[in-house]
Structure 1
C-alpha cells in the first residue's frame, strides 16, 4: 500500500489566498465544491444504499470519465451498439451532482434502477459511500498525469457554468491547482486516496495514459473485471465506438449542446491526447508542477507518465 502523508489526506480552506470563487462555493471535510454538488449526498454517505453488483466509474475530473463510462456501459449492455446511444447524463446517474435549479435526484433514481447499476462519481475516497466498500461494489478508478489533467481542467473551468466560466489566466489556475484549491479537491489526494484500494479485488485502477496506449487491451481488462465474456466482433465494435474520434462525433457522450457547457470556449471533449501540457507550460511552471509531483508522489509506488 502506498504511503499517504498528512498533507495529502486533508485539504484546507485557503479561500483567502485565491480571490476566484466558483458559484456556490463551499468546503466539506477539506474538499472544495461548487453549487452543482449536493451537500446532502456528502452528509449521507454512510446511509446511501449500494449493491454488490453496482459498478462505479470514479475519476478525478478530466481524466477520461466519459470514455471509460461508455466502455463499461457497452460491456454491460452490448445491445446498445445496435439500438443507438442514449445520452450518458440520462442513462448514468452522477452520484453527487445536480444542475442548480434542476429536478433530477440521482440518489432517488438509483433506487429505481435495475441491477447492475452503472454510476459515475468524482468523489474522493474519504467521501465515498461506505457501503460501496463494505459490500464490495465494483469500482473502476481512472487517474491521469497532473500536467495534462491541469490543462484539461483549466479549459473545462473556462467553458462550464458551474465553474463560473472562469476568465482568469492559465497561471492563476495552475496556482490554485497546485494548492488544492480546486473543485472536487486536490489531484494528489484524490489519486492517492483511491490508490490505497488498488490491490482489492473489487477495484480496478486504470491510468489514462495506459488506456491511450492500448484501447483494445483496456476494453478486455474492463470486461474481465466485470465478468463479461465478449466475442471478438463485439469487442472490436466497442473499441471502434469508444475511440476518441468516434466519441467526439457522438452527441450522446460529447455534450456539445448541454446548457451548462459553452463549447465555443472549449468543447467538452477537447483533444484527448497525452502531452498537450507542452503547449501550455512555461519552463518555470513545469518546474513548479515537477516539484509538486515529487513532494506528493515521490515516496509512493503510484507513478504517471507524460
Structure 2
C-alpha cells in the first residue's frame, strides 16, 4: 500500500531444511532499498539487471490475456528476444518463481488475507503504508500510464471510483488494517511512506536491522544518495524501460515521489469528502497517518 498502491514484495531464502524465508515490501523505491540491503549493496549488479527481472510481480500476468499477448507478438519491431520477454511477463508468476534460484524476490499487491495463512511463520514482511489521498493520485497516474488499464478520465472521476472500491486492489482500508493488526508480529515491519520521505537514513537502518544486515554510516549515506529521488528517477534499472519497449506503458514510470502532493489535485469538496472517509474508516483503529510536512 504505498505509492500507487497496496504492494509488498518478498524474497525467499532456503535453509538446510528447505524452509522458505521471504521479504515483503512496498513501492519501487523500497524494492530497490531492500534488494540492495540483502545483496550487500551490490550497485553494479542492481544497475545491470532491471528491477522487473530482480522481482517477480506475481499477479502481473493477469493483465496479459491471450489476445493482448498475441497482439504484442504480432508487432513487427519485436524480435525474438522481445517475444521471449513478452512470454516472461505473461507466464504465471508461480511458474516464474519456481524457476528462479534462491534468493528470490517477489512483488505483489495482494492483501495479507489472500496470501498463505502461515506467511508470518516462515517470512519476514515489510509493509509500507501511505496516505490514501497520495495513493489515489499515484494510482491515477499509474492507471493512465499503463496500456492495460489506460484510464482516460480526470482525477476527480478517478477519486470517485477509488473511494467506492471500484479500482484494482481496493478496498484500501481493509487491506491496510489487515497489516496494521499484525504490526507487532516479530516478522512484520510496518512502515509509512511519509517516514521514508522525511527521514530516509533512519528508515534504512531500521529495515537493515530487521533484515539482519549491518552497515556503517558511510555505507548508509551512500545508499541514501542512491535512493535520493533525483537520482532514483533517472535510474534506468528501476524505470521499467523494458516494458516501455514492449509498448505496455508510457514513460516515465517514476513520477514525483512526493508526500502530501494530493493537495495539488483535491478541491474543497474532495478534501472534505476525503477527511470524512478517512475518519470513518479509522474510527475503530489507532492507526493514524504521519504528517507529510
TM (norm. structure 1) is: 0.76
Number of the residue aligned with 2:42: 80
Q: Report the Cα distance in structure 2 between the residues aligned to 1:253 and 1:208, rounded to whole angstroms.
A: 18
SS of 1:120's equivalent? strand
Q: Is the 8 A contact 1:216 1:239 kept in 2?
A: yes
Please say if 1:103 is aligned against 2:91.
Answer: no
- Equivalent residues of 1:51, 1:132 under 8 A apart: no
Contact 1:124 1:185 in 2 (8 A): no
Q: Pick from 283, 287, 292: which aligns with 1:302?
A: 287
Does structure 1 conserve the Cα–Cα contact (< 8 Å) formed by 2:24 and 2:125? yes
Structure 2 distance, partners of 1:129, 1:103, is 26
Give the conservation status (yes or no) of the 8 Å contact 1:72–1:222. yes
Change (3 A) 1:129 1:162: farther
Alpha-carbon shift at residue 56 of structure 1 (Å)? 1.8
**Aligned pair 1:54/2:22, yes or no?**
yes
Q: Which runs of 5+ in 1 are unaligned?
A: 1-49, 60-64
Cα distance in structure 2, aligned partners of 1:51 and 1:276: 42
Aligned 8 A contact 2:36 2:46 in 1: no
- Listed as ranges, the matches of 1:1-306 within 5 Å are 51-57=19-25, 59=26, 65-85=27-47, 86-98=49-61, 100=64, 101=69, 102-104=86-88, 105=91, 106-135=93-122, 137-163=123-149, 165-256=150-241, 258=243, 259-263=247-251, 267-304=252-289, 305-306=291-292
Query: Residues 148 and 66 (structure 1 numbering): CA distance in 2 closer, same or farther, change over 3 Å?
Result: same
Aligned residues: 246
8 Å Cα contact 2:51-2:238 kept in structure 1: yes
The question of whether the paired residues in 1 share the 8 Å contact of 2:46 and 2:237 is answered with no
1:141 alignment partner, SS class:
strand
4+ residue segments displaced more than 6 Å: none
* Distance (Å, rounded) in 2 between the aligned partners of 1:191 and 1:217: 23
Distance 1:129 1:284, change over 3 A: same
- Which protein is richer in helix relative to its size? 2
Gaps of 5+ in 2: 1-17, 70-85
TM-score of the pair, normalised by structure 2:
0.79
